[in-house]
Amino acid sequence: MTQHLTAPAHTRDSTRPGWWRDAVIYQVYPRSFADGNGDGMGDLKGVRDRLPYLKDLGVDAVWLSPFYASPQADAGYDVADYRAIDPMFGSLLDADALIRDAHALGLRIIVDLVPNHSSDRHEWFKRALREGPGSPLRARYHFRPGKGKNGELPPNDWESIFGGPAWTRTEDGEWYLHLFAPEQPDFNWEHPAVADEFRSILRFWLDMGVDGFRVDVAHGLIKADGLPDLGGHDQLKLLGNDVMPFFDQDGVHAIYRSWRKILDEYPGERIAVAEAWTPTVERTANYVRPDELHQAFNFQYLGTAWDAVELRAVIDLSLDAMRPVGAPATWVLSNHDVTRHATRFANPAGLGTQIRTAGDRELGLRRARAATLLMLALPGSAYLYQGEELGLPDVTDLPDEVRQDPSFFRAAGQDGFRDGCRVPIPWTVDGPSYGFGSGGSWLPQPDSWAALSVEAQTGDPGSTLELYRSALAVRRARPELGAGDAVEWLDAPDGVLVLRRGGFVCVANTTSEPVTLPAYGQLLLASSTVRVDGDAAEVPADTTAWWAV
């Protein structure tokens, strides 16, 4: 049972200077959040209707995964028109209304920007294909003749992250590069028209009033000169951390310096956050130097087991890497590409971030709640993924015939389990799709989700939703939780973390046994019941507790 011993007011103002340094940013996956028009697919109207829920939850900003015009070969990460909304999500008027309503509530809006590749239905790519080899329009993408006697072999040995070759041959015999699906041709960022176009797209959305961008595959835009073969190097897992000639090339940084100038021209601290998978956190820090982007996702943290030694190491490493460049650390446990943390922690450690088994659900949820309280006690900015506040597990038993993730069809079991974290979220106890919408749900929801719905959890002090609400309320009332760039570690038994930040102490017991520790002060919140007896406190297994000292 959650303990909530205080009910602090919402005191933080989202217009305050440096708002993004400790912001809690909630990821909305539009197709799975709320369906406003009853077609079984989430949309902008659905998001707009639910903004008060997000305000009440206590987040500072909302990041929306792509809603642009797209054939949806990769759930919208294949953009056909960067300045239009896909009709399945609504219209530009809906986007405008959403941004205005969010601002009126004091919520910031961050949109996804997909600069590494377009859709194969993007006007530029369609024309490049039509105009044939030698057309200057082909230079905006990576077209090449093939190898072999008749050009029948791909230009190099790169494989797509979704499986299969990273090259597709066109009818006229040339090949084009796609690090992801064939429907996602990579732009050639050495071409000035590409850079100009994206500067214009940035301005389009900044003029619409958005507060920032999440930059998709930010580490992929520049490829090594000559597109060299990988040779014997192992091919990729989905966005791994290896050094690759198509990832984390130094040339990407000039792009972000030019974008920062644009962001800084606009009032109100507009930001950008990099999705950059790099070999080391130091390389990640390069993306957030003072004249580049503001934040980068901390995937090392996301991949860390529920283990005190490993967690402490990654927390120290992350803070140490960001401090020299003056950027805030960021923390994230779940997103639309990985198995939800309630399911990762339900399984043995070491299985990675794509897991196919449900594991021990009760244990997973208990650890997930504890992991969230630890994350929200760290300095910097934290990202939440829709539904984690309900303690949703991944849906690990989706039948093959309902799956939509392109990697499922291309990778033959390597990845392709991303649909499990994309199942529409339950709002109500009853109804055809538990309140997601009146027209069903594009992926089937498990029956057990009625009990996990917003309606079922609201007002239940033991629920995960109320734990998140309380945690975010405490964080807003006590700015020391997110502020600064360091934590002070206090002595603790094996398997336990105790960190102090000003007048605040966070205790995380990652072991499967209760521990007796000092009662550090006034208990603010705990992920399961902590018993205080005089100067001592018994912190149960897999539990995090927050104290005011």
* Nearest-CB residue for ligand BGC: 77
Residue 453, token pair as written in the block: 């719905």
Site for ligand BGC in 365-384 (CB under 6 A): none
Q: By CB under 6 A, tell whether 299 contacts ligand BGC.
A: no
The distance of closest approach from Cβ of residue 197 to ligand BGC in the complex, given in angstroms and rounded to an integer, is: 17
The distance of closest approach from Cβ of residue 409 to ligand BGC in the complex, given in angstroms and rounded to an integer, is: 13
The distance of closest approach from Cβ of residue 184 to ligand BGC in the complex, given in angstroms and rounded to an integer, is: 6
State the Cα–Cα distance between residues 478 and 466, nearest whole angstrom: 18
Helix, strand, coil tally for the chain in percent (to 5): 30, 15, 50
The distance of closest approach from Cβ of residue 79 to ligand BGC in the complex, given in angstroms and rounded to an integer, is: 9
Of the two residues 217 and 473, which places its CB atom closer to ligand BGC in the complex? 217
What is the CB-side half-sphere exposure of residue 212 using CA atoms within 13 A?
26
Q: By CB under 6 A, tell whether 217 contacts ligand BGC.
A: yes
The distance of closest approach from Cβ of residue 315 to ligand BGC in the complex, given in angstroms and rounded to an integer, is: 24
Of the two residues 68 and 180, which places its CB atom closer to ligand BGC in the complex? 180
Residues 95-134 as x/- pattern, contact with ligand BGC by CB under 6 A: -------------------x--------------------
Cβ neighbours for 405, distance < 8 A, ≥ 6 positions apart? 75, 415, 416, 417, 418, 419, 422
The distance of closest approach from Cβ of residue 19 to ligand BGC in the complex, given in angstroms and rounded to an integer, is: 24
Cα dihedral 140, 297, 46, 477 sign: negative
3-state SS, residue 323? helix
Residues 252-281 as x/- pattern, contact with ligand BGC by CB under 6 A: -----------------------x------
φ, ψ of residue 455 to 5 degrees: the values are -60, -45
For residue 546, CA distances in Å to 26, 267, 418, 523 come to 22, 36, 33, 6
Q: By CB under 6 A, tell whether 143 contacts ligand BGC.
A: no
Of the two residues 77 and 449, which places its CB atom closer to ligand BGC in the complex? 77
Say if CB 376 and CB 24 are below 8 A apart. Answer: yes
Element (H, E) at 273: strand 271-274
Q: Please tell me the total number of residues recorded for the chain in this structure.
A: 549
Of the two residues 299 and 468, which places its CB atom closer to ligand BGC in the complex? 299
State the Cα–Cα distance between residues 99 and 234, nearest whole angstrom: 44
With CB under 6 A as the contact rule, the residue among 216, 292, 415, 542 that binds ligand BGC is 216
Strands (E), 145-211: 167-169, 175-177
Of the two residues 77 and 546, which places its CB atom closer to ligand BGC in the complex? 77
Q: By CB under 6 A, tell whether 60 contacts ligand BGC.
A: no
With CB under 6 A as the contact rule, the residue among 20, 63, 77, 297 that binds ligand BGC is 77
428 closest CA partner among 440, 441, 437, 418: 437
Of the two residues 274 and 525, which places its CB atom closer to ligand BGC in the complex? 274
Of the two residues 116 and 509, which places its CB atom closer to ligand BGC in the complex? 116
With CB under 6 A as the contact rule, the residue among 35, 337, 394, 542 that binds ligand BGC is 337
Q: Can you say whether residue 40 is alpha, beta or left, with left for phi > 0 and alpha for psi between -120 and 50 degrees? A: left
The distance of closest approach from Cβ of residue 277 to ligand BGC in the complex, given in angstroms and rounded to an integer, is: 8
The distance of closest approach from Cβ of residue 293 to ligand BGC in the complex, given in angstroms and rounded to an integer, is: 15
Of the two residues 46 and 406, which places its CB atom closer to ligand BGC in the complex? 406
Say if CB 47 and CB 30 are below 8 A apart. Answer: yes
Read off the amino acid at residue 412.
Answer: A
Could you give the residue numbers annotated as active site? 216, 265
The distance of closest approach from Cβ of residue 376 to ligand BGC in the complex, given in angstroms and rounded to an integer, is: 23
Of the two residues 91 and 414, which places its CB atom closer to ligand BGC in the complex? 414
Cα dihedral 26, 75, 248, 159 sign: positive
Element (H, E) at 137: none
Site for ligand BGC in 173-202 (CB under 6 A): 180
Kind of pairing, strands 504-509 and 496-501? antiparallel
Number of residues that bind ligand BGC (CB under 6 A): 10
State the Cα–Cα distance between residues 298 and 235, nearest whole angstrom: 23
Q: By CB under 6 A, tell whether 74 contacts ligand BGC.
A: yes
Instruction: Give the residues lining the site for ligand BGC (CB under 6 A).
Output: 74, 77, 114, 180, 216-217, 239, 275, 336-337
